[in-house]
Amino acid sequence: MKRHFLEIAYLGTNFSGWQMQPNKVTVQSTIAEKLSTIYNEPITCLGCGRTDSGVHASQFFLHFETDKNVPVNFLYRMNKMLSQDIVIHRIFECDKHARFDATYRSYDYFIHFKKSPFLEPHSFFFPYSPLDYEKMYKAFDMLNNYIKFKPFEKSKSDSKTSICRIYKTQISINEAKHQMKIHIAANRFLRGMVRRIVGALIMVGKDKITLEEFKTVMDHQGTFSINIAAPAQGLFLTEVRYENFCGI
Which residues carry out catalysis?
Answer: 52
Distance CA 79, CA 189 (A): 29
Distance CA 66, CA 63 (A): 10
Residues 153 and 218: beta-carbon distance below 8 Å: no
